[in-house]
C-alpha cells in the first residue's frame, strides 16, 4: 500500500479495500477529442486502454475517422504507431524520448487505475506537501517524475511534469506538460474521475490537445 497520507486517502475514496486481490490488468474505454496543433480541428476518437497493475506498462488503441493509433509502453520501451484505416503504415516512432514520454503518460493516468498505486513496485512515492505527491519510475538509466495534486476531499484533480519530450517539426523539445481530472463516479466497482484533459504549456500559451471521458472499466 502507498505509505503516503494523501495517496492513501485517495485509495480509500476509490473504494479499494486493504488486502483486496489485485487484478492482472485494468481495461478502460474512452471517447473524446484530440487536437494536433493549436487552433486545429478537433478529431473525435474512441479508445480502449489496458494497464498492467503490477508493472509500468500500458497499451492504448484508438480509432479516429481515418486512422488507427497504437500507443504503448512495456519493459521501459515506448512505441507510437499510426495506420491509415488500420492497414497502411503512416508513422512508427520509437526511441529514448518516446520511452520517457510514454512512462510519464502511465504515471499521469494512475487516477484511472487506483489498483496500481497499491501494487506496483516499480513506482516510488514522495510527499511534497499536504495535497501534493511526486511519483517516479525508472526508464533505463534515467527516471520519469510526475506530480499528483489532490483536493481537500482527497480526490486526484491534477498532474504535472516539468518537461516532457514533444516533437516540434524535426526537433524534440522539452515542454511543461499537465492535466486535470473531474466528474468522479463509480465505474467498474471503483470510484474514479470520468473526465480529463491534457495540455502542453507552450511559449505562446497553454494548448489542450486531449479531452475525454471514461465510459467503462473492467478488470481481469
Which residue bears the cell 497520507? 5
SS3 69: strand
* Residue-level pLDDT, tens digit, the chain, 220 residues: 455 666 677 777 888 766 678 888 999 999 999 999 999 999 999 999 999 999 999 999 999 999 999 999 999 999 999 999 888 889 999 999 999 999 999 999 999 998 888 789 999 999 998 889 999 999 988 999 999 999 988 899 999 999 999 999 989 999 999 999 999 999 998 999 999 999 999 999 999 999 999 999 999 8
Residue ranges of domains in the chain: 5-15+46-214
pTM for this predicted structure: 0.94
CB neighbour list of residue 168: distance below 8 Å, 6 or more residues apart: none
Give the helix/strand (H/E) hosting 102: helix 96-108
Element (H, E) at 96: helix 96-108
Amino acid at each position: 500500500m502507498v505509505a503516503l497520507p494523501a495517496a492513501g486517502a485517495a485509495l480509500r475514496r476509490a473504494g479499494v479495500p486493504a488486502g483486496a486481490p489485485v487484478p492482472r490488468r485494468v481495461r478502460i474505454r474512452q471517447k473524446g477529442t484530440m487536437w494536433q496543433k493549436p487552433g486545429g480541428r478537433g478529431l473525435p476518437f474512441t479508445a480502449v486502454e489496458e494497464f498492467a497493475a503490477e508493472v509500468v506498462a500500458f497499451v492504448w488503441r484508438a480509432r479516429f475517422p481515418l486512422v488507427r493509433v497504437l500507443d504503448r509502453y512495456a519493459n521501459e520501451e515506448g512505441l507510437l504507431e499510426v495506420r491509415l484505416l488500420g492497414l497502411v503504415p503512416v508513422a512508427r516512432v520509437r526511441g529514448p524520448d518516446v520511452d520517457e514520454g510514454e512512462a510519464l503518460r502511465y504515471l499521469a493516468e494512475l487516477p484511472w487505475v487506483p489498483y496500481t498505486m497499491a501494487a506496483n513496485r516499480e513506482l516510488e512515492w514522495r510527499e511534497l506537501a499536504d495535497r501534493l505527491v511526486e511519483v517516479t519510475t525508472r526508464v533505463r538509466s534515467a527516471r520519469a517524475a510526475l506530480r499528483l495534486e489532490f483536493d481537500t476531499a482527497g480526490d486526484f484533480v491534477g498532474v504535472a511534469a516539468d518537461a516532457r519530450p514533444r516533437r516540434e517539426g524535426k526537433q524534440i523539445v522539452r515542454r511543461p506538460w499537465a492535466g486535470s481530472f473531474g466528474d468522479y463516479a463509480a465505474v467498474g466497482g471503483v470510484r474514479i474521475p470520468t473526465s480529463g484533459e491534457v495540455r502542453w504549456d507552450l511559449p505562446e500559451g497553454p494548448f489542450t490537445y486531449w479531452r475525454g471521458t471514461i465510459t467503462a472499466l473492467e478488470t481481469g
